[in-house]
Amino acid sequence: MVSALKKNPDWKGRKGPLVLVIMDGVGYGQYKEGDAVANADMRHFRSLEASCPATKLKAHGTAVGLPSDEDMGNSEVGHNAIGCGRVFAQGAKLVSASIETGAMFQGTVWQELISQVKNRGSTLHFLGLFSDGNVHSHIDHLKAMLKRARNEGVKKARIHILLDGRDVGSQSALDYILPFEDFLKNLSTEGFDYRIASGGGRQYITMDRYGANWDMVKRGWDCHVRGIGRKFASAEEAVLTYRKENPQVIDQDIHEFVIHDETGPIGTINDGDALIFFNFRGDRALEITRAFEEENFTFFDRGKKPDVYYAGMMQYDGDLGIPAKYLVSPPAIDRTVGEFLANSGVKSLAISETQKFGHVTYFYNGNRADKFSEELEDYIEIKSDRVPFEERPWMKCAEITDKVISAIESGTYQFIRLNFPNGDMVGHTGVYQAVICGMEAMDLQIGRLAKAVEKAGGILILTADHGNSDDMFEHDKKTKAVLFDKDGQPKAKTSHSLNPVPCIIYDPGFQGEYDMHLVSGLGISSLGATCINLLGFVPPEDYDASIVRMIPRGQGSQA
């Protein structure tokens, strides 16, 4: 049981609320060209940045629990870090370690998967995001499992690939498909048969999240399970054909493809088969998992649901027990900021639109779906538009702000956290003009929030979970020059960046309670202790260091 926080004897906090603004995908870029954050008219953000205590925070790699500093941060681990105040080993690192030690293959679930297909002479299927982006999955994990399956005598495997183009290069699919086909050929000897069976872009099939578009999941189900979709002889042929028809199409938007031979689809999922969904991240894995596991499923017509042994790479929702079978246990995150505040009697609000609602609730709370207190916590979800984000780059930032300003004016809440998704969701489209528009739309709302916070006597923290919109063009790694496509346009970069993110504290009522010079060199996990400090409490001793240095009463201001 988490106890209540100790109150700061020297300062009880402001009379108004602490408002934590997570500007999703907004970092400090290292290149002038393609930095939509730097190049947009963000006058409200810049004014606060210039006049308030500010620093930069690490938001990728080991600072958020990923294997190395070459690994980009993402919204899941970013909100985990912000909300739990410490760094936990995350999915990619846990899965890699489980494979390296052999623990995955010694576990009951792996052994049951292998036994099922060997005893029944059936097929072992793998479904997941097909890249080395290391945000939702890693192709090396897939290869390791395929090698192990062959070594254990699994004769037939089928792989259903979801093209990335988001956490990796926007048109890099063949860079993964072609060497992988060679890898499968080396496994498919002596009576073994390992082949790609179906696929499509991650933003078109299968990987929806937060119930935003179940049609995506249906298209994936029909493609992977039933073999319904456009027919091709190979994944390479599918990608080349779609690109010929639309040279500008990026991998994440490629439509479904089903691999056929002279007998029909080569890899439908049937009774007695086993399937591993090899994504380790949970948000875009939950819906397809529910389609496989739920008996009374109502979101679309599945046709005849095959009786398969289904396992996830990890458990994607511990509270709901989804999936029932999984290969690697997720990080056990406890003692989060939300739990401490609830047990300390702090009334709080979490709000975003659909695309990031789960991040300021589920992920922020340490992968917990339920509230810590029904009485002290309110959640508001603004429904996202179901249109391409480049067509509505302002998204729902104004509607989110409307609700937050009402909450501030109500005097009900001591702590409000919100997520503006624009920098990330529009950033992933690769459409630079749209990203600039999204940044400027968000900045208008930052101006509105600052006025409301000042009027209420509160504090505003501007920060982010990772970078994205700060790095929108591909650059040559050696020369740092912008890369151009065949039409002479800068080549779009659709993945997250490795750049640091802002931390700006706007505190109109400041009276010397803390040092105006913020601590540098920290990660976003330090936001946990910072929020607790600014609410008038003492952070837990094992939390990562606060960004603010509190000044005991009587020692004077460090302004």
Q: Please state, in angstroms and rounded to a whole number, the distance separating the CA atoms of residues 429 and 435.
A: 8
Which domains, from first to last, does the chain contain? 16-86+334-538 (3.40.720.10), 92-328 (3.40.1450.10)
Q: What is the pLDDT of residues 345-374, one digit of tens each?
A: 999 999 999 999 999 999 999 988 899 999
Q: Which residue has the tokens 């046709």?
A: 303
**What is the predicted pLDDT for the residue at 66?**
82
Q: Please state, in angstroms and rounded to a whole number, the distance separating the CA atoms of residues 259 and 253.
A: 18
Q: Please state, in angstroms and rounded to a whole number, the distance separating the CA atoms of residues 462 and 364.
A: 16
Q: What is the pLDDT of residues 185-244, one digit of tens each?
A: 999 999 999 999 999 999 999 999 878 899 999 999 999 999 999 999 999 999 999 999
Report yes or no: 529 and 545 within 8 Å, Cβ to Cβ: yes
Q: What is the pLDDT of residues 472-508, one digit of tens each?
A: 998 988 899 999 988 899 999 888 899 999 999 999 9
Q: What is the mean pLDDT of residues 116-141?
A: 96
Q: What is the pLDDT of residues 299-325, one digit of tens each?
A: 999 999 999 999 999 988 765 778 999
Return the H-helix or E-strand segment holding 260: strand 257-261
Which range, 79-93, 258-272, 281-295, is most confident? 258-272
Q: What is the set of active-site residues?
A: 75
Report yes or no: 128 and 345 within 8 Å, Cβ to Cβ: no
Min mean pLDDT across 281-290, 396-405, 407-416 is at 281-290
Q: What is the pLDDT of residues 3-38, one digit of tens each?
A: 899 999 999 999 999 999 999 999 999 999 999 999
Q: What is the pLDDT of residues 37-71, one digit of tens each?
A: 999 999 999 999 999 999 999 999 899 988 778 87
First to last CA, the chain: 39
**What is the predicted pLDDT for the residue at 319?**
55
**What is the predicted pLDDT for the residue at 559?**
44
Ranges of beta strands (E only) in 61-211 are 124-129, 156-163, 193-201
Report yes or no: 276 and 292 within 8 Å, Cβ to Cβ: no
Q: What is the pLDDT of residues 459-482, one digit of tens each?
A: 999 999 999 999 999 898 889 999
Q: What is the pLDDT of residues 145-177, one digit of tens each?
A: 999 999 999 999 999 999 999 889 999 999 999
**Residue 554 — pLDDT band, cuts 50, 70, 90?**
low
Q: Please state, in angstroms and rounded to a whole number, the distance separating the CA atoms of residues 138 and 130.
A: 7
Specify the pTM.
Answer: 0.77
